[in-house]
Structure 1
């Protein structure tokens, strides 16, 4: 729990309204929680300028009318970079191997952003100097702008506290260098209590590139570590102590500045507008009708996020596993970037007809998870999806992590008894359909699943308390007021 005194009731928590510039990295897994944070600040009476690129701004959807006077969008044109597809403005638009080029293009926003800060933007309601800039890990070029204009900054980390604890500070890594896969397969030495914060071998191999320069010429870790400047006053995490015990005090010490929770930024109460989300598909009613016909808690929802590096082989093994499991399922299938051929095994649709629905394109995930027919979630364990499924709806998990923080999240959820991880080959990360089927049956059809569901509901009651979560947003505002 943060040490700031708490006040409630929205804008009354702040002595004077702030102007906060909010600027996420170009990935929907980042932009969506940054926008949720922006809405919470605006609801508390503060002016918020949300910065992105034109296409991303359009895909984020309209600002709620009641917030339009305080929450405005400033769109900066993303410069072209050789090798980056025309019109690519987010990680969802490029294969994993081109994300470094997207970062290179993103670095080209330094000058337009500096101009925005210096001159304002009347169309975005940018009428006075910002009191704070809340930005992502990637903008290591933002510091000279902030320093020139004497604007304090906060890094908003949309990942769980566990990944920050695992990666550590620059000083920690210099004192305890890690050079082999085995070094990443155990908790780092600065975690001085029993912990599941460690990677599998195939995950460890994927972590090492974060410490090496990519096509942008800068490593992701160097981007993040550059925050250690006087104008960086806070690190804000999309998390809370109830979700990740013991980590906030450790991180505050490790990074030598306050590390504070924003709360989990749980989705708003359900309304009928999920279909109008980014990339919205207004023809989802047929799937809702199918869900309405299924017994309560009988369907497993399957979705691997918008950016996990899923291959055609992964899709085929997952299809085989769902078929062998005999479970009812709704699968939000995202075609791997660059793959145009047939994905599903021959005859798959016919063999699962009636008990399985495969949906391509946008699926309103929150709406699906809230449906009474859905009893579990087969997920890549992205933090946003974990927050929605466990902490919002109390659904147990079948876990198939792919990158970065996802393996750490899967270990933590397994340790808390709310999910089952699909076994993978330790060396190459491959998995088999038989193992997918066994994990699904454990959660959906066996006695173990009853206990997992009970544990998930209990954890949801503790972590998903709305009043407590809103209190974290109030306390974050107090931190911004104090450190401006």
Structure 2
């Protein structure tokens, strides 16, 4: 029996690989074969998580392949504008070679390519090869709407033609869509303060998303009822989310870091709804003073907490803890380098999610009915924070002091406020129901996914 052969191409970042790999596992479950193409650097990290297996799943499994990203092994892959600049050219060339190679093999030609919208620069290659193309948007639809509205933002004098904000102001694309600070647009908040790299990032992202418009099919990891107004701004996009392993009774894969599962045993010993889970994704970096205030703030809450402290979250994570902090919190604070997040969030002892508001984390928290404390770092995370706090009202933002620090007192106060507010908890449970209903039999996301499968197999 021959299975339709699909090539999946994520953008090389953790928050992009995980949802596309989850979509790939759903496709395999419905009788497709998937070759999943990472850059070599990402491939090594994913293989490490999978203990060197180069495939996922059973008979018609997901085969993991890799292509170069054009960077030297020692170069900094957190310099996003440089990564995008280099990978754009190299990935496109190497992708064409890989497709030709696969098509020469006896295992069945590629009949469809699913590309991450941020890697839309590969779309012309797929077009040239006359293969059907699907674009997958892994973030909130509101963040894609922002790119679609760029010509209008330029016409209205909000940004110049290089994407630079003309002045600091609040932008709202439509009612019930997050308000965006013009100085925190996706491309102006990507870590670097350098104006040239902002302009370059703007151009690269905008061109990628423009190229994505040539797709035959546009899908996203979102839920219509979570952001209905945003869907009116992006024609033809179909939600198929939330894409979570728990929904298909599977396991999460694609982590760039080795997960420390010992924290699950620790969670088993805690009271229901008592633990604050603190995790800021794979990019957030905290300056030492801020790191210490966060540690002291968690200590001040007097509540049990599970804190994911990546070795690179601050310049010297192990040296950075306040004096005696680890000894003082030893009984109720659990510190890990990386956690099996989806298992943690679904654990009955978790009370709230203290998050950087990446879209995957946002959907995971929402799908588990949790209140949030929001600590966005860059890119689309400010849009997600606004959804959580301003529109869905299931979380709280932090205020910074005059020197730009979120103080320990502010942390303690917001933890108490969010955990003491029954209406926030009630809304979080309603939102959970909304999200999960969409992927149940007959739900809007589930129907869209079925249509996609039929189209692929047609």
Please report the TM-score for the alignment, with normalisation by the length of structure 1. Answer: 0.80
**What SS does the corresponding residue of 1:395 show, helix, strand or coil?**
coil
Q: Does 1:101 align with 2:72?
A: no
**Cα distance in 2 between the residues matched to 1:398 and 1:221:** 29
- The 1:346/1:182 distance shift into structure 2, 3 A limit, reads farther
**What SS does the corresponding residue of 1:232 show, helix, strand or coil?**
coil
Shift of 1:154: 2.5
Task: Decide which of 65, 71, 81 is 2:57's aligned counterpart.
Answer: 65
**What SS does the corresponding residue of 1:227 show, helix, strand or coil?**
helix
Q: Residues 53-452 of structure 1 correspond to what in structure 2 (within 5 A)?
A: 53-60=39-46, 61=50, 62=53, 63-66=55-58, 68-81=59-72, 85-86=73-74, 94=76, 96=78, 98-107=79-88, 108-120=90-102, 127-128=108-109, 130-179=110-159, 181=165, 185-188=169-172, 191-192=173-174, 194-200=175-181, 203-204=184-185, 207=188, 214=197, 219-227=203-211, 231-252=214-235, 258-268=236-246, 278-281=256-259, 284-285=261-262, 287-336=263-312, 339-340=315-316, 342-360=319-337, 362-391=338-367, 393-414=368-389, 415-424=391-400, 430-444=405-419, 446=420, 448=421, 450-452=422-424
**Cα distance in 2 between the residues matched to 1:150 and 1:239:** 28
Structure 1 contact 333–359 (Cα < 8 Å) conserved: yes
Gaps of 5+ in 1: 1-10, 89-93, 253-257
- The 1:113/1:228 distance shift into structure 2, 3 A limit, reads closer
**What SS does the corresponding residue of 1:223 show, helix, strand or coil?**
helix
Cα offsets for 1:249-275 (capped at 9, x unmatched): 3210xxxxx211122102235989679
Cα offsets for 1:57-114 (capped at 9, x unmatched): 3433354432x42422221133334xxx52x6xxxxx474x22232234231222111
Shift of 1:338: 7.3
Structure 1 match to 2:450: 474
Structure 2 match to 1:42: 28
- The 1:176/1:237 distance shift into structure 2, 3 A limit, reads farther
Structure 1 match to 2:429: 457
> Aligned residues, how many?
438
Structure 2 match to 1:8: none
Q: CA RMSD in A?
A: 3.3
Deviates more, 1:330-339 or 1:430-439: 330-339
Deviates more, 1:166-175 or 1:289-298: 166-175
Shift of 1:228: 5.8
**Cα distance in 2 between the residues matched to 1:216 and 1:164:** 18
